[in-house]
Amino acid sequence: MQWATRIFFVSLLIPVFLFAKVEIVNVEVEGFGSSKKAAIDSALVEAVSQVNGAEIASKTKRQLTEVVNDEDVKSSEAFNQEVSTITNGLIKNWKILSESLEGNNHLVKLSVNISKFKKSVQTERLRLAVVPFRAADSVKVNKTVSKFEGAITAQLENYLTQTRRFALIDRSFLAEQTKELNLIAAGSTTSMSVDEIVKLGNRLGTDYLIVGRIEKANSAVSEKKSKVSDTVKKYLTSTARITIRLIDVATTQIKFADTYEKTTGTSIEKLADKLAIEIGQIVLSSVYPIRIVNASSSQVVLGQGGKTVKSGDFFKVYQLGKKLIDPYTKESLGREEIEVAVIQINNVKSKTSDAKILESILDLSEAVNNQDDFIVRPFKAPQTKAEKQKVKKPKTVKKLKEEVEEEW
């Protein structure tokens, strides 16, 4: 099925068919031309037009001019293969049913198998591409860095797929843009303008691009000898720092840009997983904030589930207020967000999740029934006494200890 993958690389098809399903359609067509090849070309273009429309047929017509000259048509098998290759598999194969001469002109009748594109449900979702994470020029690439590169890219893609909010561009398609992607990913983001990145995004047919650069990724093993025996324990520590940009291709705006750094007593792959989830949550909340879809006096239902949230997670609830406009550019700055509650996830389903209301200044049940808009954003609550000494407690979690004693 290699031809099916190659189809996606026809530039005119990218925006429409990137997330399309493919089926093979057989049509019988006639072609007329001053040579046998010209007649076959005419028939093939007509076949494409019947199945996929005039615009794609016009592209095919230009591609067929690159095929061998008329003498090589003698080998129909080789000609078949070359046509399939030059059209990126759009014309899968064909055979001549009949041929004749009308004066000095050739007339052929062909049976042609054409790849037809069918839109999938995903085409209604925002298209997003995760540019493979690469180390900055200042970072020496070793086995640990390579593992981190692959792990964080894969885990971020998995997380965003689980949200059911985005249609992610297939890696096999991204691989065809290797040169441009390497310019973006391998530390050249500092010299590459947003406009240049947006041009690539347009070629990819994507709405958003996630561009990440690895500033640090290492693992180290330390030893500690027991004070009461000769026992030596080994401890693994992994550290990583990455910079992220989420770019809106249509507006050329950077939706957000930030640097993340984390140290854990785990492998570099597990650290990558944790960072990817944090980044995924920020991406999701920037483009599609999680919303409350139902509420009672003590519980709320969120319109997000699966692996994107987990039991025990804390969220702040915000009521959306009036629209905010930049006084200089007149651009929309979104809507006012008023913090009204703190909730904790206690049940995760495939598409939704339930959360306990820990504290609230509103009757969320009444407000949701009145169709007020609410969104939720994740936040970290201190989990241990040691963490409480290091981390400033969020102002809305004053009563959290009393209500969820077991979490502290």
Band (pLDDT 50/70/90 cuts) for residue 72 is very low
**pLDDT higher than threshold 60 for residue 144:** yes
42 lies in which domain range? 2-121
- Pick the closest to residue 35 from 63, 59, 2, 69 (CA basis): 69
**pLDDT higher than threshold 60 for residue 7:** no
Specify the number of domains making up the chain: 3
Give the end of a domain, one of 267, 288, 309: 288
The whole-angstrom separation of Cα 225 and Cα 380 is: 33
Whether the CB-CB separation of 239 and 266 falls below 8 Å is answered with no
Predicted pLDDT of residue 215 = 92
The whole-angstrom separation of Cα 96 and Cα 89 is: 19
The reply to whether 309 and 248 lie within a common domain is no
Band (pLDDT 50/70/90 cuts) for residue 397 is very low
DSSP H or E stretch at residue 112: strand 105-119
The reply to whether 210 and 222 lie within a common domain is yes
From residue 345, how far is each of 49, 85, 182 by CA, in Å?
A: 53, 52, 40
DSSP-assigned beta bridge partners for residue 168: 128
Give the end of a domain, one of 273, 288, 303: 288
Q: Kindly give, in sequence order, each residue whose CB lies less than 8 Å from that of residue 46, ignoring residues fewer than 6 positions away.
A: 29, 30, 31, 57
The reply to whether 113 and 136 lie within a common domain is no
pTM (predicted TM-score)? 0.56
In 226-362, beta strands by DSSP E = 232-248, 254-264, 290-295, 299-302, 314-325, 332-348, 353-360
Whether the CB-CB separation of 117 and 124 falls below 8 Å is answered with no
The reply to whether 69 and 117 lie within a common domain is yes
The reply to whether 268 and 139 lie within a common domain is yes
Asked which of 302-311, 337-346, 392-401 is least confident by mean pLDDT, the reply is 392-401
Predicted pLDDT of residue 14 = 39
- Pick the closest to residue 91 from 59, 123, 120 (CA basis): 59
CATH code where residue 251 lies: 3.40.50.10610
The reply to whether 159 and 197 lie within a common domain is yes
Give the end of a domain, one of 121, 145, 160: 121
The whole-angstrom separation of Cα 66 and Cα 188 is: 35
CATH code where residue 320 lies: 2.40.10.410
Band (pLDDT 50/70/90 cuts) for residue 133 is confident
Predicted pLDDT of residue 395 = 44
Half-sphere exposure of residue 336, counting CA atoms within 13 Å on the CB side?
6
The reply to whether 306 and 209 lie within a common domain is no
Tokens of 317: 């609830």
The reply to whether 130 and 273 lie within a common domain is yes
The whole-angstrom separation of Cα 83 and Cα 333 is: 51
The reply to whether 7 and 58 lie within a common domain is yes
What does the pLDDT look like over 149-166, one tens digit per residue?
A: 999 999 999 999 888 888
Reduced to 3 states (helix: H, G, I; strand: E, B; else coil), residue 166 is strand
Tokens of 140: 């020496």
Predicted pLDDT of residue 152 = 94
**pLDDT higher than threshold 60 for residue 9:** no
The whole-angstrom separation of Cα 31 and Cα 121 is: 36
The reply to whether 10 and 156 lie within a common domain is no
The reply to whether 169 and 259 lie within a common domain is yes
* Mean pLDDT, range 280-289, rounded to an integer: 84
**pLDDT higher than threshold 60 for residue 311:** yes
* Mean pLDDT, range 183-210, rounded to an integer: 62
The reply to whether 224 and 366 lie within a common domain is no
**pLDDT higher than threshold 80 for residue 19:** no
Q: Is the dihedral of CA 310, 315, 319, 322 positive or negative?
A: negative
